[in-house]
Chain A
Amino acid sequence: MEGIAQLGQYLGAGLACIGMAGAAMGVGNVAGNYLAGALRNPSAAASQTATLFIGMAFAEALGIFSFLVALLLLFAV
């Protein structure tokens, strides 16, 4: 019984890491679109770096959440 519980723990931690793929796509999307916009209008780019970092932070937070779920499954259950 213990073995099955541990199996589920490790499987769940691995599955939780799939969530990081979503965060990776999100962060890449933010940075790519920023670069596309910045190359079209370089004079407006500098004023939007704060927005870039806020957008990246929001996208990245969800990946960190999935990392946290994996850690909780491994160490806190």
Chain B
Amino acid sequence: MEHEAEAGTGLAFHPMDQFLVKPLFGGHEIHWYTPTNVTLWMGLTVLAIVLVLVVGSRGRAIVPSRSQSVAELTFGMVHKMLEDICGKDGLKYFPYVLTLFCFIVFANFLGLLPKSFSTTSHIAVTAVLAILVFLGVTILGFVKNGSHFLGLFWVTSAPLALRPILAVIELISYFVRPVSHSIRLAGNVMAGHAVIKVFAGFAAVAAIMPVSVLAITAMYGLEVLVALIQAYVFTILTCVYLKDALHPGH
């Protein structure tokens, strides 16, 4: 996605330029140890989480301050989500699920700041999160249930003749999980940011400038909603996959 904006097309910049990974301290080569803008914004994400969840809730007041109630509401929402879907025995994995939720929601929100870089718009980032969930859940399923975990693919409630066909479908849908899990998040974030930049490109034309500014404002509002909903969806799907691993069988 390293297309330069062509001169004379009206757009002063390319809408995909915002997703370029650049080294922080000059140069063009990127090795695995090079600090880039991704590194910077991931670090800021972690810092923001620590600020809100650790420092914000340090007071432990009975009547919580604003930052303490944000931390408590986040904790309570994810806790309830996990308990509703996986039951009591899923709560052992609560720290990981809360970490996932916090990381994604803060990365999404920090990505909405002007001139910032949204790390979750890269499939490389979300794929790592999704593959970790996929591997963890698969290993957990085999450790907890042994070969009984394969009952997930052998639907005993279906007629015998139908079961091999269903097994193939279930197998495909199981292995597509990390793909759709990661692309959904990255695609939503990337699409929203690209649309905002496309409207921003129209703002240079004086005749449609008010429309463009209105459209950017509206899209921005939608993006704030999408940032929260996609983090929620990612977490809730993690819970659903965890439930399949803990209690296989339909």
Contact = CB atoms under 8 A, between A and B. Distances in A.
Contacts of B236: 50, 53-54, 57
A61 interface: yes
Interface in A38-77: 50, 53-54, 56-58, 60-61, 64-65, 67-68, 71, 75
A60 B184 CA distance: 8
What bracket does the count of chain A residues touching chain B fall in?
Answer: 10 to 19
Contacts of A61: 180, 183-184
Contact of A64 (B184, B229, B237): B184
Given A53-B236, A75-B1, A68 B183 contact: yes
Contact of A50 (B84, B188, B191): B84
Contacts of A53: 229, 232-233, 236
Most buried by A among B1, B183, B190, B233: B233
Interface of A is mostly: helix
A50 B81 contact: yes
A64 B183 contact: yes
Contacts of A60: 184, 188
B115 to A, nearest CB: 22
Given A67-B191, A75-B16, A54 B237 contact: yes
Contacts of B237: 54, 57
Nearest to A56: B233
A64 B233 contact: no
A68 B187 contact: yes
A50 B1 CA distance: 36
A60 B16 CA distance: 22
B3 A64 contact: no
B191 A64 contact: yes
B172 interface: no
Contacts of B16: 75
A19 B236 CA distance: 25
Contacts of A57: 184, 233, 236-237
B167 interface: no
B140 to A, nearest CB: 20
A56 B236 CA distance: 12
B240 interface: yes
B85 interface: yes
A57 B236 CA distance: 10
A57 B182 CA distance: 12
Nearest to B181: A61
Contacts of B81: 50
What are the 10 closest A-B residue pairs judged by CB atoms, nearest first? A64-B187, A57-B233, A61-B184, A61-B180, A75-B1, A53-B233, A67-B191, A64-B184, A68-B187, A67-B187
Given A61-B183, A65-B187, 9 more contacts: A53-B229, A53-B233, A53-B236, A57-B233, A57-B236, A64-B187, A64-B191, A65-B183, A67-B191
10 contacts: A50-B236, A57-B236, A60-B184, A60-B188, A61-B183, A61-B184, A65-B180, A67-B187, A68-B187, A75-B3
